[in-house]
Structure 1
Amino acid sequence: MTEPALPPGPRLPVLVQSMGLLRFRHRFIPHLRRRYGDTFTVRVIPHGRPLVLFTRPEHTKEIFAADPEVFHAGKGNAILGPIMGEHSLLLQDGSDHKRARKLLMPAFNGHALHGYEAVVSELARAEVARWQPGVEFRSLDRMNALTLEVILRVVFGVTDESRLAALRPRVRTIVNVSPALLAGAAWPWLLRFRPWRTQVTNRIELDRLIYAEIADRRAAPDLRSRTDVLSRLLLVGADGGEGEGDRLSDAELRDQLVTLLLAGHETTATALSWALYELGRDPVLRQRARDGGDAYLEAVMKESLRLHPVIAMVVRTLMQPATVGGYALPAGATVGPSILLNHADPTHHPDPEAFRPERFLGASPPTNTWIPFGGGVRRCIGAGFSLMEGVAVLREVLAAYDVETTQADEPKVRNITSVPRHGARITVRPLPEG
């Protein structure tokens, strides 16, 4: 028997609940679980629409395995539409999403990832060589710069320095866009004012650069021998390629490239900065990371994503009434597992406040209890790329330096992500010879 009402939740004003969720989530969401239990409802702007958060893995499984025609993920990401574009994988649902994912998959399979790793390692080595031993710095800033370079060279495939110089400032502006600036799409009158007008101008110029790169790449005589993501996507559906004749248009390519930029830049950079922060706090852990090879470094990345989630939740919007966790929920409600609470559950992650990469060696945590990349048919297509990139970067850092954390840190909400409040400050010193 399903219950007739939404799960319980606070009766605070909608604006207060929204602020709690968006700005103070690391305290607000755990408070709601203590107050209301494993499943609860938050009312958010606009119009006080219900957001139902679940924390039990069996409920997470229900949501990830549900009919994607009913449980729409694209609606939950709609705020990013003005930047990502209508063809973005994150904004599509149903057959459109299925088609786009099929066309993108060849650029992210195991063979492709192996081809990207050498370039990532080379870029990481060059970044690390610029660090000054003994000088404190914000690892988040350096990881953001590095992952941006990875996106431009490995995903966009740009190697010409003049084009890189033109793209970098445009991309940084897009990456740093705030939800307030995105409001220009809902209230066009805001575009008369400088912050919103500047954002539109930047997007137009970025699009011009991206479309020029796509056009040049289509005509490149060495297209088939190139290994970057854009070149691989251009070959999908071509003679001898994958995709059975279906191909991505220039507009689709643009939207997917910007999506990969936004989804794969700050998230990986943040996970890496937290990993360096945790490694810098424990010399025993650092030595294990050096001695344990790539498997241990991947476990470090996974534990960083567990203990310090970059995204707080995975959401779906119900296109018709549905039952989840025994609750009969109305069409229009948004539902999803809380990543914050799933990752902090001591039932599935003993001693959850401790940084223990060993959780991911041998037997991993139970299914649907570690969900930084979502799950089901909507699991992040770049998950493998992110972990490969993280391993390659940590390998280069630890091969060159010993890392020491200089200041305690805590999460801070930045737009829709959570980052180290103080930038995960560290110092490095050369390893002793021999």
Structure 2
Amino acid sequence: MQAALSLRGGPRFVAACARRYGSIFTLRIASIGTLVYLADPADIKTVFAGDPRVFHAGEANSLLSGLLGDTSILVIDDRAHAERRRLMSAPFHREAVARQAGLMAEIAAENIAGWPVGRRFAALPKMSEITLEVILRTVIGATDPARLAALREVMPRLLKVGPWATAALVNPKLLRHWPWRGLRRRIAAADRLLYAEIADRRADPNLATSTAVLAMLVRDGEMSDRELRDQLITLLVAGHDTTATGLSWALERLTRHPDVLAKAVRAAETSAAGDPAGDEYLDAVAKETLRVRPPVFDVGRVLTEPVELAGYRLPAGVLVAPGMVLVHGSDAVYPDADRFDPDRMVGATLGPATWFPFGGGNRRCLGAGFAMVEMRVVLREILRRVELSTTTATGERQKLKHVILVPRRGARITVAATRDVATATTSHRAAAGG
């Protein structure tokens, strides 16, 4: 019953438990085991700062190994994780990410140009197209037109995993049997394309000058083809779906808050003009969105030995879960927490135990900086290129898709008109005129 409530209710279920039982409570979830939820930032800080040999995040993510592979940075622990993180950190340094911003903007602008005007549509598929293209071009560095087209087709199909297919990802041995042959074929197709990209990078005479993440990892020379494949699929899955979801929620929130939307449009224009204040406000919109609508609603650590935490002695084998939605939605931490208010993020110093959409401690997402830049750039291009209609409709509810909380209706928006960014930023082209 608790597994069903978690799948259907997600954040609402754990919030109800916190109201009834307090800042620490236990759930028993079929196929996962015993989870101890934490809602007190002091306890969460203890977990994030704890010995990684005792607090195993990779083990907590082991349900993903059927898709990501057993060498993925998300599913390994201890020394292996520390070494893999060292190898993968360089491509995600601030300077390396900044070099990709121009390409991100080009990809976003090309996609936005094809949006319908005057007709309501779901933003989530569009955001997924943009973020997938960003990953393919900046992380993998794919340039072959035929292979790019194949990756654009295969990856979304691979990520559409329902409950039936999820069972095989949890238990990869099931992939051998006929009910899961479709999923097996999709994984094999993705693998063929990724291994072909790896082979191309290894043979590329211009490898030394490439800025793509894959090229940088190949240059390093310390990972096998299988290890590179596992990291690529991890970046595709973790960096594509979550960022697309965050962007969709941002549009869903902005179109329900006209004053914030107007301020964000002005920030997009000043950002495009090179004013850092514009960047700061767009970053604040992204941060506030990830607070009120985080794409994932918790993170986890499996205890490898007994631990004293929050006044209890927790046994080995328990999964402790810092409750992201509980902290992000706490009025004690964020006054009037239900209010969408990017201004609270402007100039704010966010504590690692009170704002953690990218996880925390030694397992904080390597691509956090990349994702934040991508959100800022894509939001900037949307807000300066189209006029979004506001709505008085009730906010979309959260729906659990695998482990990601997506807008139930796909974040439906309407473009009232397009903006001619080549001339005055305030001039509009009428919908009838295109």
Normalised to the residue count of structure 1, the TM-score between the two structures is: 0.91
Mean Cα displacement is larger for which, 217-226 or 59-68? 217-226
Of 49, 62, 69 in structure 2, the residue corresponding to residue 78 of structure 1 is: 62
**Does residue 373 of structure 2 align to residue 388 of structure 1?**
yes
Alignment match, 1:10:
none
What SS does the aligned partner of 1:42 have?
strand
CA–CA distance in 2 between the matches of 1:190 and 1:209? Answer: 20
Q: Distance in 1 between matches of 2:210 and 2:352?
A: 37
Separation in 2, partners of 1:172, 1:381: 23
Mapped partners of 2:175, 2:379: distance in 1: 43
In structure 2, C-alpha distance between the alignment counterparts of 1:225 and 1:187, rounded to whole Å: 38
SS at match of 1:79: helix
Equivalence for 2:77: 93
SS of the residue 1:40 aligns to: strand
**Partner SS, residue 265 of structure 1:** helix
Match of 2:327 among 342, 359, 364: 342
Query: What is the Cα deviation at residue 363 of structure 1?
Result: 2.3
Aligned to 2:347: 362
Distance (Å, rounded) in 2 between the aligned partners of 1:365 and 1:263 = 23
| CA displacement 1:113-167 (0-9 Å, x = unmatched) | 0111111110001011111221211011110111111111111111222111111
Distance of 1:213 and 1:267 partners within structure 2: 23
1:137 corresponds in structure 2 to 121
Out of 419, 422, 430, which is 2:418 matched to?
A: 430
Q: Distance in 2 between matches of 1:152 and 1:377?
A: 27
1:414 and 2:401 correspond: yes
Alpha-carbon separation, structure 2, partners of 1:45 and 1:20: 11
Q: Stretches of 4+ moved more than 4 A in 1?
A: none
> Is 1:269 paired with 2:253?
no
Partner of 1:392, secondary structure, is helix
1:114-263 aligned at under 5 Å gives the runs 114-184=98-168, 186=171, 188=173, 191-194=176-179, 196-237=180-221, 247-263=222-238
2:423 — aligned with what? none
Task: Name the amino acid aligned to 2:58.
Answer: G
Identity of aligned residues (%): 43
User: Does the alignment pair 1:50 with 2:44?
Assistant: no
Alpha-carbon distance in 1 for matches of 2:108, 2:298: 30
Q: TM-score, normalized by length of structure 2?
A: 0.91
One-letter amino acid matched to 2:219: L
Q: Distance in 1 between matches of 2:79 and 2:317?
A: 20
Q: What SS class does the counterpart of residue 158 from structure 1 fall into? A: coil
CA contact (8 A) 1:318 1:332 kept: yes
Q: What is residue 304 of structure 2 aligned with on the other side?
A: 319
- Which runs of 5 or more structure 1 residues have no equivalent in the other structure? 1-15, 238-246
Determine the C-alpha separation between the residues in 2 that align with 1:22 and 1:52: 17
Partner of 1:355, secondary structure, is coil
Quote the Cα distance in structure 2 between the aligned partners of 1:430 and 1:215: 42
Which residue number corresponds to residue 330 of structure 1? 315
Query: Paired residues, what number?
Result: 408
Alpha-carbon separation, structure 2, partners of 1:149 and 1:366: 32
Post-superposition shift, 1:288?
Answer: 1.4
Q: CA deviation at 1:188?
A: 3.7
CA contact (8 A) 1:83 1:174 kept: no
Distance 1:364 1:351 in 2: 18
Deviation at 1:27, TM superposition (A): 2.1
Q: Quick one: distance in 1 between partners of 2:384 and 2:136? A: 25
Q: Distance in 2 between matches of 1:272 and 1:198?
A: 30
